[in-house]
A and B are shown apart, each in its own frame.
Chain A
Amino acid sequence: MKSFTVLEGLVAPMDRANVDTDMIIPKQFLKSIKRSGFGPNLFDEMRYLDEGQPGEDCSKRPLNPDFPLNQPRYHGATVLLARENFGCGSSREHAPWALEDYGFRCIIAPSFADIFYNNCFKNGILPVVLPAATVEQLFTALYAQEGYRLEIDLAAQEVRTPAGEVLGFEVDVARKQCLLKGLDDIGVTLESAARIHTFENQWREQSPWLFNVIGKGQG
C-alpha cells in the first residue's frame, strides 16, 4: 500500500451530502475482477452525459460540463472536499479504488460512513473529518479562489490553508501508523499468528459446533 505522509495538492469540490458508493462508482463497473482502472468511471453518472459501460473508452464520451471535475480549474486535484456522510451505502472497495485511481489521496468532510472510512485507509487514502462549519469555510474559500490548494500533514494531524490557518484533526493511532508507513495489514496480523492459534484452539474447545461443519466431505 502507498504510504501517506504530507500531501500538498489542488482541491476539488463534491458539494452535496450523503454521496453514496453507487454515485462514486456505479454498479455496472463492479463486475471487473481487477482492482485498478476504475478512475475513468469515478462519479460516472454525474460526470458523463451518456450511460457508461464497463471496458468502454471514456475519452470519447460526452462530458457533463456542470460537473466540477470536468472543469479545467479542478484538473489534477488530489484533495476532495465533501459534505456529511460521504461514502454511505455499500461496502464496495471499488469506491476508494476509483477515487485513488483518479488521483485523490485525501477526502475532507464533516463525516464519513463507517465502512467507506475504513476502506480508505486500506488504499492509501486519508479521510479527514473537520467540523461542518470549518468545511463550510473551506468550500467558500475554494469557490472564491481558482487553484485553491491545501496541505495535509498526517504525522502532525493538521490541514494547513493558504491563509496560514492550521486545522487539527483526529485519527486513531493504529490507522495512522499503518498509513504513515504504508504497511501491509495482513503481514502485521500474521506476526500474531501464535496468538491467533492459541485463541482458536481455546475457542474450538469451548464452541466445537463452530468448527469443521462446512468443508469437503461434511455438511
Chain B
Amino acid sequence: MAGLTLYDKLWRNHLVEQREDGSALIYIDRHLIHEVTSPQAFEGLRLAGRKPWRLDANLAVPDHNVPTSREERAGGIAGIRDQVSRLQVQTLDDNCRDFDIVEIPINDVRQGIVHVVGPEQGATLPGMTIVCGDSHTSTHGALGALAHGIGTSEVEHVLATQCLIQQKMKNLLVRVDGALPAGVTAKDVALAIIGRIGTAGGTGYAIEFAGEVIRGLSMEGRMTLCNMSIEAGARMGMIAVDQTTLDYVKGRTYAPSGALWDAAQAAWADLHSDADAVFDKVVTLRGDDIVPQVTWGNSPEMVLPVDGHVPDPHGMDNSTQRSAAQRAIEYMGLTPGMAITDIHLDRVFIGSCTNSRIEDLRAAAAVVRGRQVASSIKQALVVPGSGQVKAQAEAEGLHEIFLAAGMEWREPGCSMCLAMNADKLGAGEHCASTSNRNFEGRQGIGGRTHLVSPAMAAAAAIAGHFVDVRTLQESTQ
C-alpha cells in the first residue's frame, strides 16, 4: 500500500465517522471566530436552544470592521463611526459574553487579523484541524495543520457539534525546487503558482507545498503562501512540520510547554508526507525562474513578472479568457502591450492577512529606509497584522522609517484589503496592494488593485509606479 500524504494523515487523525454515502464526520480542534460571519451562527444556536459543544476550542477576535486610525480606534467599540460596523463588532462582544467564548477585544494588544493572531498566540498548532468563517483560514496550514474556510452554516455546525461533514479532497503537490533569487519573496512564489495553475487550478484539491524553496521559507513566508491557496481554488494548503515550524511555535502563549511540549513534538514528527505517498496531481516550479510578480487584471491569475507587458486579448484563443481579459483591461484602465512598470499608482497598501507580519514590515522598511514616497502617491498605508506585530515593529524602529518616508502607520486590522472599514480606494484609483484579491470593487467601488509583495509595494510607493524592487535594492548596497 502506498504511503500517506500529510493531508491523508491529518484527515485520518480527525476522522470520527466514515459514512456509506461517502461523507465523513471530521473533528475540529480549533475554531476561530470574527465578527462578519458569526452573528447568524450564534443566532441559529439561540433559536434552536443549542450550546457550544466545547468552549475551549473557540477563540474570537474582531478584525474586518475595526477602524485602523489611532483617533477612531481610541474610543474602542463606541468610537467606531460607521454604525453598521459598530453593531457588528458589538454583536461579537455580546455573543462571546453570552456563550462564554474567549474573545480578544478590540483594543487588546493581542488583537489583530484572525489569521495573524492564531499562530502568533499559539492558538493554532501543528496537527490541528482549524476552521474559521473566512476563506483565508488556509493560512494556518503553514504550521502543518488542516485548515480551511467555512460558511456561516458550518460555523454554527462546528459550534454545536465540534465536527464538520466533509468530503475528502484530492491531493495536489506543488513543489518549488531550487532557490529564490534575491528580492523574490513568498508572495511572488504564490502569485507565480496561481499564474501557472489558474484560480481554479486547485479546485477539489488540498495543496501541499514542498521543495527546497518552501523548506527555506520562514514561517511568515509559509503563511503568506498557504494564505493564497484559496486564490488558486484550493480550500486548504499545507506544509510539513520541520525545525522552522517547531522554533516558531515554541514558547507561544497557548503552545504546550515542558513534558507536554516533548509529547507534542514527538507526535508532530509524523506530520509530513511519506516518501512513497501518491498525489493525484503534481506541479513543479523552479524557484530560480521566479521574478517579482504584479497582477494587472481582476483575478489573481492575471499576473505577470514585473518586466512583463499587459497582454493583448486579441491574441487569445479561448473566448471566455478573451472576454475576461478585455473586461479586465477596461476596468483597470490599461492598454494592451503597455509595460507593467508604466502603471502609475495612487495608493499603496501594506497589510492584510497575507502580508502584515513582522517579516513583511521589515522587507518593506528595508526598501523605504532613507527614501521618500513619490509626490504623486495620495496615500501609503502600513497596517500591522496585530498589536504584537505593531509593538515588535515599533521596538525595531520600523514605524519611524515609514513615517519619515511619508507613509501612515496604523492600528491593526484588515484595513484596505476589503473595504469593510474606513480604508478604501476611490473609483479609478490604482493601488499597489500586498493583499490577496484584485476583484472588481474589492478595495472600494471602482478601485483598481494590483497584488504585489511588501517589498514591491514599498518600491512602487517610492517610484510612484511599478518598478523591479531589485534595482532599488542594488542601489542601496
Contacts and interface: CB of A to CB of B under 8 A. Distances in A.
Interface of A: 16-18, 20, 22-23, 26-28, 30-35, 45, 51, 54-55, 83-85, 88-93, 96, 111-115, 118-119, 122-123, 172-175, 177, 185-186, 188-190, 192-193, 195-196, 199-200, 203, 206-216, 218-219
A3 B331 CA distance: 40
A27, A188, A219 interface centre (most CB from chain B within 10 Å): A27
Contacts of A89: 135, 437, 439
Interface stretch (B152-160, B179-187, B377-385, B465-473): B152-160
B420 A28 contact: yes
B151 A122 contact: yes
Contacts of A188: 165
B65 A31 contact: yes
Contacts of A212: 56
A219 B123 CA distance: 10
A33 B160 contact: no
Contacts of A190: 160-161
Contact of A196 (B27, B102, B255): B27
B100 interface: yes
Range of interface residues on B (Cβ < 8 Å): 35 or more
B22 interface: yes
Interface in B118-158: 123, 125, 127-128, 133-135, 137, 148-154, 156-157
Contact of A31 (B25, B88, B134): B88
Interface in B246-289: 253-256, 260-261, 263-264, 267
Contacts of A27: 418-420, 442
6 contacts: A16-B324, A93-B151, A111-B203, A114-B235, A189-B165, A200-B54
A114 B441 contact: no
Nearest to B89: A31
Given A177-B21, A216-B100, A207 B267 contact: yes
A23, A31, A215, A218 interface centre (most CB from chain B within 10 Å): A31
Contacts of A18: 199-200, 299, 324
B109 interface: no
A84 B43 CA distance: 34
Given A23-B440, A33-B40, A213 B254 contact: yes
A88 B17 contact: no
Nearest first, the 5 A-B pairs at minimum CB distance are: A209-B256, A174-B23, A93-B151, A122-B153, A91-B149
B134 A114 contact: no
Contacts of B253: 219
A172 B167 contact: yes
Interface string B60-72: 0000110000000
Nearest to B167: A172
Given A22-B439, A115-B149, A195-B25, A35 B420 contact: no
A57 to B, nearest CB: 16
B418 A113 contact: no
B428 interface: no
Nearest to A96: B151
A200 to B, nearest CB: 7
A173 B22 contact: yes
Given A113-B200, A189-B25, A195 B16 contact: yes
B12 interface: no
Nearest to A117: B203
Nearest to B87: A33
B320 interface: yes
A216 B102 CA distance: 7
B327 interface: yes
Interface in B92-112: 100, 102
Contacts of A28: 419-420
Contacts of A173: 21-23
Interface of B: 14, 16-17, 19, 21-23, 25, 27, 29-30, 36-37, 39-40, 43, 48, 50, 53-59, 64-65, 82, 84-85, 87-88, 91, 100, 102, 123, 125, 127-128, 133-135, 137, 148-154, 156-157, 160-163, 165, 167, 199-200, 203-204, 230, 233-235, 253-256, 260-261, 263-264, 267, 299, 320-321, 323-324, 327, 418-420, 437, 439-442, 445
A88, A90, A212 interface centre (most CB from chain B within 10 Å): A90
A203 B54 CA distance: 14
Contacts of A199: 16, 27
Contact of B56 (A83, A84, A213): A213
Contact of B254 (A85, A186, A214): A214
A190 B53 CA distance: 10
B135 A115 contact: yes
Given A16-B324, A189-B157, 4 more contacts: A20-B437, A23-B441, A26-B445, A114-B234
Contacts of A177: 21
Nearest to A15: B323
A112 to B, nearest CB: 8
Nearest to A207: B267
B25 A214 contact: no
Contact of A93 (B37, B88, B264): B37
Contacts of B162: 196, 200
Contacts of B102: 214-216, 219
Contacts of B157: 185-186, 189
A17 B327 CA distance: 11
A89 B436 CA distance: 10
B420 A31 contact: yes
Contacts of B148: 115
B324 to A, nearest CB: 5
A33 B50 CA distance: 19
Contacts of B134: 90-91
A82 B364 CA distance: 41
A199 B161 CA distance: 12
A115 B235 contact: yes
B320 A17 contact: yes
